């Protein structure tokens, strides 16, 4: 009942965004045993009114398409036969490429993103690929026409390269507002995924996910997979609930 959001899986990058491969392997083993891990599209088709996927299920998503996924995530996902979706920054797959300049805590070495060959091999192995915008820009700061163009260009390039429909978008850093949600719909997406720090009103263009970060062990994962996790961690809501109970 939780859509999980990872970024990279790699040992050498000490950042919240890079889960250690040993932790990732433990997470996958736990998920395979305790949750029905379903394809993201199936999770989205079964969302309830609060934006939660069907009970007892989880879906795995990984943002940014870091090259380390090929070495450190793919073998584990295959071993446990877990469905997963990777959200790609489309410009990284153009001939000119795009350097990873959007992370706050980069490692000492240059971060690479997946090559097209790796993407296609992973797709062949069952990994689903969807859009994480054209260039990982801050969507709420773009003007509406520019935002539509960014999101549409990403969808169209990815559909051409992958040879399949790309109906899903993950907002860079989960950031969106009313204009961005409208732009996502106009750019041809059916759903878009967020990464709320605080609970926000869920909807087809604000599907909530729970972030998993470096240092999160199986205990943290179990807690984050609880059905009420997104509501529980908002202190204001918790206070309101306590007051109501009195």
Q: Which residues bind Zn ion (CB under 5 A)?
A: 63-64, 172
Full DSSP string of the chain: -EEEEE-EE-SS--STTEE-HHHHHHHHHHHHHHSEE--HHHHHHT--TTSPPSTTEEEEEEES-BTHHHHHTHHHHHHTT---EEEE-GGGGSTT-------SS--SSPP-B--HHHHHHHHHTT-EEEE--SS---GGGS-HHHHHHHHHHHHHHHHHHHTS---EEE-GGG---HHHHHHHHHTT-SEEE---SS----BTTBB--EE--TT--HHHHHHHTSTTHHHHT-HHHHHHHHHHH-
Question: Is 1 or 90 the residue whose CB approaches Zn ion more closely?
Answer: 90
Query: Smallest distance, Å, CB 170 to Zn ion?
Result: 7
Question: Is 23 or 63 the residue whose CB approaches Zn ion more closely?
Answer: 63
Measured from each CB, the residue nearest to Zn ion is 63
Query: Smallest distance, Å, CB 131 to Zn ion?
Result: 11
Query: Smallest distance, Å, CB 205 to Zn ion?
Result: 17
Question: Is 57 or 85 the residue whose CB approaches Zn ion more closely?
Answer: 85
Question: Is 162 or 169 the residue whose CB approaches Zn ion more closely?
Answer: 169
Question: Is 1 or 4 the residue whose CB approaches Zn ion more closely?
Answer: 4
Query: Smallest distance, Å, CB 132 to Zn ion?
Result: 6
Query: Smallest distance, Å, CB 173 to Zn ion?
Result: 6
């Amino acid at each position: 009942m939780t859509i999980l959001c990872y970024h990279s899986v790699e040992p050498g990058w000490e950042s919240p965004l890079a889960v250690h491969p040993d932790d990732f392997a433990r997470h996958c083993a736990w998920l395979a045993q305790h949750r029905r891990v379903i394809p993201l599209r199936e999770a989205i088709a079964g969302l309830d009114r609060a934006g939660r996927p069907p009970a007892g299920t989880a879906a795995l998503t990984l943002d940014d398409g870091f090259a380390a996924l090929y070495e450190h995530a793919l073998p584990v996902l295959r071993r446990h036969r877990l469905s997963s979706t990777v959200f790609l920054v489309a410009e990284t797959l153009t001939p000119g490429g795009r350097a990873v300049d959007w992370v706050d805590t980069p490692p000492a070495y240059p971060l690479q993103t997946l090559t097209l060959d790796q993407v296609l091999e992973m797709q062949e192995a069952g990994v689903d690929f969807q859009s994480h915008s054209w260039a990982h820009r801050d969507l709420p700061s773009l003007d509406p026409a520019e935002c539509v163009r960014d999101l549409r260009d990403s969808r169209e390039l990815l559909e051409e390269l992958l040879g399949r429909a790309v109906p899903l978008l993950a907002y860079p850093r989960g950031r969106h507002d009313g204009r961005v949600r409208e732009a996502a719909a106009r750019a041809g997406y059916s759903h878009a995924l967020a990464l709320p720090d605080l609970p926000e009103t869920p909807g087809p263009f604000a599907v909530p996910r729970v972030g998993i970060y470096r240092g999160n062990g199986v205990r943290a994962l179990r807690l984050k997979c609880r059905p009420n996790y997104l509501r529980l961690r908002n202190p204001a809501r918790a206070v309101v609930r306590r007051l109501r109970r009195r």
